[in-house]
Amino acid sequence: MKQKTTFTPMLTISNGVTDVDFYKKAFGATELRRFSNDDGTIHVSELEIDGAMFHLHEQGINYKSSPGVLKGTTVTIGLFVDDVHAVMAKAVEAGAILTSPVQDYEYGYRQGEIADPFGHRWQIQKDLR
Amino acid sequence: MNDFKTSFLPTLSVRNAAAAIEFYKKAFGAEILMSVADPGGAIVAELSINGVRFLVADESPEHENFSPETLGGSTIRMGLVVPDPDRMARQAIAAGAAEIYPVADQDYGYRLGRIKDPFGHHWEICKKLN
């Protein structure tokens, strides 16, 4: 089978996280696999949103690089969805912070942006062209 | 029927987008789909690696878009699933990426290696093992 090229972003989270239901509630994500530490906290969680896979990975003990520690993010995850308004509303209801409300831009995208409860930034969008 | 497909379009903030774009071309065979510069010279470009798209942008701390160099680390690693991770990782290292660990079969079901690009972004280059 020919392997198709895809991105699987890996989002760094704090140590000690046990609850990642935000992604299920906000984006309808399904958790495929979870690798837990002995104390039950998440080491890696493998999730997918309608076939698009991504991972959450706890930050290293000696190399702390979650958005909370670094005080910012170096990558924004664009997520193409069918209904931008609906996904944005669900994300905010699930605990995201609205950073840029939904708007149609002249370059042909409908976009809104949120910060999730772990500090990662998502641009929810649809190509209107 | 609704044939809409959910997909990611990551935006990588960097300190020198022009140089980063050249690196991604050599490292990953990326093609430039679009590139715009604002009057101050800040670049936003859309690139494609075998058809998957991502954006590279000069950082703009006023919009909370920070490069890994500015923050001293990266908050997201780029998983890149490709047909031949060994070849892609070699090509990226030849283009100037640093190897964090070599491509090898991992017990979680992937053949995967990790590199850090010259702009501070980490990439996990992989394919699923059968």
List pLDDT tens digits, range B57-96.
999 999 999 999 999 999 999 999 999 999 999 999 999 9
| Chain B: closest CA distance from residue A111 (Å) | 12
**What backbone phi and psi angles, to 5 degrees, belong to A71?**
60, 50
* C-alpha triplet B117, B123, B129: angle, nearest 5°: 145
Contact A62/B at CB under 8 A: no
Q: Do B12 and A6 touch (CB under 8 A)?
A: no
What pLDDT shows up at residue B2?
A: 61
Q: Which of A10, A52, A71 sits opposite B76 (nearest CB)?
A: A10
**Which domains occur in chain A, in start order?**
10-127 (3.10.180.10)
- pLDDT, tens digit, for every residue of B7-38? 999 999 999 999 999 999 999 999 999 999 99
| Neighbour-count burial for B69-97, b at 16+ CB within 10 Å, e otherwise | bbbebbbbbbbbbbeebeebbbbbeebeb
Contact A110/B at CB under 8 A: no
What pLDDT shows up at residue B95?
A: 98
Is B90 among the domain residues?
yes
Contact A10/B at CB under 8 A: yes
- pLDDT, tens digit, for every residue of A69-102? 999 999 999 999 999 999 999 999 999 999 999 9
Is B3 among the domain residues?
no
Rg (CA), chain B: 15
Q: Which domain holds residue B117?
A: 11-69+76-128
Chain B partners within 8 Å of A67 (Cβ):
75
Is B2 among the domain residues?
no
Chain A partners within 8 Å of B28 (Cβ):
none
Q: Do A67 and B78 touch (CB under 8 A)?
A: no
Q: Say what the pTM is.
A: 0.93
